Amino acid sequence: MPLAAVAEVLSGRRHVYYGWWLLAASVTAMAFGSGVSFWAFGFYVQPLEQEFGWTRAEVSLGFSSALLVSGLSGPLIGRFIDARGPRTAILVGTVLTALTYLLLATTNSLWQWYAYSALNAVVRQLMFFIPFMALISRWFDRRRGIAVSILGTGFSLGGFIVLPLVGLVMETLGWRATLVASGIAVAVVFLPIGLFIVRNTPAEMGVSPDGAQDADGRASTPRPIEGVTLPQALRSPLFWALAFGFMLFFYGMFGWLVHQVPFYESIGLSRRAATSIVSATAALSIGTRLLVGVIADRISRFEYVVVGLALTLLVAMVTLSVSTSPTAIAMFLVLWVVGTAGGPMVEALLLTRAFGVANFATILGAVVVVETIGQILSPTIAGAIYDATKSYDLALLMFTGTFAAAAVIFLGASRLRRPFEPGAGDERSGGR
């Protein structure tokens, strides 16, 4: 926004589309939500091994069991979000998620670790990734690429800002206190956002997506959200191509996310050094994610971008397989930052273009079921490989193969027909 426009906003002479305020709050939520969950997973591996004598594969299976249950519940979670609205889902999910963090802090046996982790993962879906992606996809249309990419920076900020705080609490007070603090942080951040800021659709505020205006400068008439239904999406070859492509793409990304701190520790780095590397990587990814959003608004088939991202991650894994010298690690980090630039937003950018927005959360929930297959296997297999070989070399080779397969599938998906055509959605979305 030009400086003159900024001055007009500050003086009150220019109206700011409410979607931008909503997006700013959503970025904050994504930062805290990812910082205490996805980014922090690796922190719990070593403390649980040391306190209970569990193997790395056993600890990793806790993450996998959580993903299994949450993945299978994805369609129900998505349907709840589409039917009740993201706001209700966020409020209900926040309360339940905060309570499950407190429950996790009472873990004393392996079955409790598995059960509590699974419960936490299921209710966290109500208040974190799916509802905010659905929310921003509803509030932005022409600018959806940049809006979703800005939302994705919240994921990066979680690793850059929140993760070091989680690490500090872990070092000072231990893993149980860290889980308690995570639950408190979720409640303090998400409840005010859900209560006072989140609104389900632009129509609730009397505006259209992007703050669109008529030719005379007045706000255009709000239009209904459009999209195909889940059964219609399931009959499309494109749905299955994207679902299996996501499964392979996130197999490598999630597997590394869980094991990156243990990996750096395995090659002789301290916990603090490993945390600093992860935090720096997250910070650097902010700029690349914004760039991907700008590109997304200007390219018809975003599948081509995802092919490039997958190939970049492939090269990153090969680099780390060849050497773990400081130079090689630096090269890996650059490639990883570029390759993961579209990480938390590729689903929204591809699925909304293919199937519309009306039933996006439900369709995303169905995709999550397929994705979960890879996310369940990835950290567990990587942990088992380390237990057997005391090295991550074979795990890196495995991730290289899955990124290569993902690139091939997304290339094929780029040639398939999209079921959704904007402006023709009333009969397909049931008048939603």
In order, the DSSP letters of 188-256 are: HHHHHIIIII--S-GGGGT--GGG-B-TTSSBPPP----B--HHHHHT-HHHHHHHHHHHHHHHHHHHH
Whether the CB-CB separation of 73 and 67 falls below 8 Å is answered with no
Which residue segment(s) compose the domain that 27 sits in? 15-207+224-413
- The dihedral formed by the CA atoms of 166, 172, 177 and 182, expressed in degrees to the nearest 10: -20
Is the torsion defined by CA of 114, 115, 116, 117 positive or negative? positive
Which of 360, 359, 365, 358 is closest to 76 using CA atoms? 365
Measured CA to CA in angstroms, residue 238 lies from 37, 75, 247, 353, 415 at distances of: 31, 18, 14, 11, 9
In a domain, 431, yes or no: no
pLDDT at 4: 45
pLDDT at 6: 39
How many Cα atoms are found within 13 Å in the side-chain-facing hemisphere of 71?
19
pLDDT at 421: 74
Domains identified in the chain, total number: 1
d(CA 394, CA 266): 14
- CA triple 10-11-17, angle to 5 deg: 55
In a domain, 126, yes or no: yes
240 CA to centre of own chain: 20
Tell me, what CATH number does 45's domain have?
1.20.1250.20
pLDDT at 220: 52
Give tens-digit pLDDT for 306-351. 999 999 999 999 999 999 999 999 999 999 989 988 876 888 889 9
pLDDT at 328: 93
Whether the CB-CB separation of 286 and 34 falls below 8 Å is answered with no
How many Cα atoms are found within 13 Å in the side-chain-facing hemisphere of 265?
15
Backbone angles phi, psi at 13, to 5 degrees: -80, -15
How many contiguous H segments (helices) and E segments (strands) does the chain have?
Answer: 19, 0
Give tens-digit pLDDT for 89-135. 999 999 999 999 999 999 999 999 999 999 999 999 999 888 998 99
pLDDT at 105: 97
pLDDT at 12: 52
In a domain, 426, yes or no: no
Q: Which residues in the chain land under pLDDT 70?
A: 1-14, 212-224, 344, 423-432
pLDDT at 214: 46
In a domain, 428, yes or no: no
d(CA 257, CA 378): 10
Residues 6+ apart with CB under 8 A from 266: 386, 390, 391, 392
pLDDT at 221: 57
d(CA 104, CA 36): 13
Sequence length of the chain is: 432
pLDDT at 228: 93
pLDDT at 351: 94
Lookup: tokens for 275? 């945390």
Whether the CB-CB separation of 262 and 270 falls below 8 Å is answered with no
Helix (H, G, I), strand (E, B), or coil: what is residue 356?
A: strand
What is the number of other CB atoms lying within 10 angstroms of the CB of residue 285?
27
In a domain, 419, yes or no: no
In a domain, 422, yes or no: no
In a domain, 218, yes or no: no
SS (H, E, C) 273-288: HHHHHHHHHHHHHHHH
What is the number of other CB atoms lying within 10 angstroms of the CB of residue 394?
16
In a domain, 229, yes or no: yes
